Amino acid sequence: MVDVVDSATRSRMMAGIKGKNTKPEIAVRKALHAQGLRYRVHAKEVPGRPDLVLPKYRAAIFVHGCFWHGHDCELFRLPSTRTEFWAQKIESNRQRDAKVGAMLASAGWRELTIWECAFRGAHKIGFDEVIQRAIEWIKSRSAKAEIRGKDGARRPQQLA
């Protein structure tokens, strides 16, 4: 499929996509705060600068977009243009995520990843369910977990 905008416009649009303080991240923050949970945002002293850090629980929470982190769900599709560039970019994001996860574990932090597909798409589980699962995990002793869309959302995607 041919892009509907020129390359300069597409570049400007992609550069405008935020990595911090995204709408899903802010929604999760507000909901956890409303439940009485206190956190720090993008704490520099925690490996990977997680979106949320709950020091009391030694918990780090990441809210990931399925495209940018190459999630195996319906929301991720490798672009048909500049495929090599995007495959390399997404693979480097995946490798960085794994490295950060190992650094968090070795520093004694627990890690929760909340995926975009849990909020939207055909297999979403809904915002209230996401927050309930996040709170359960925060109060548990589980070292690592992820919240994603329903199992039907899984779809293997090959990167070049």
- pLDDT tens figures, 75-93: 888 888 889 999 999 999 9
- pLDDT tens figures, 100-114: 999 999 999 999 999
Domain locations along the chain: 17-151
Confidence of residue 17 (pLDDT cuts 50, 70, 90): low
- pLDDT tens figures, 138-150: 999 999 999 999 8
User: What pTM was computed for the model?
Assistant: 0.84
- pLDDT tens figures, 29-65: 999 999 999 999 999 999 999 999 999 999 999 999 9
First to last CA, the chain: 18
What was the pLDDT predicted at 150? Answer: 87
CA distance 23 to 7: 26
- 3-state class (DSSP) for residue 94: helix
How would you class 73 by CB atoms within 10 Å of its CB: exposed for 0-12, middle for 13-18, buried for 19 or more? buried
Specify the fold of 17-151.
Answer: Endonuclease; Chain A (3.40.960)
Strand 59-64 and strand 52-54: the pairing is antiparallel
Least Cα distance to 62 among 144, 150, 129 occurs for 144
CA distance 87 to 74: 17
Confidence of residue 156 (pLDDT cuts 50, 70, 90): very low
Q: How many CA atoms lie within 13 A of 10 on its CB side?
A: 9
Average pLDDT, integer, range 152-158: 45
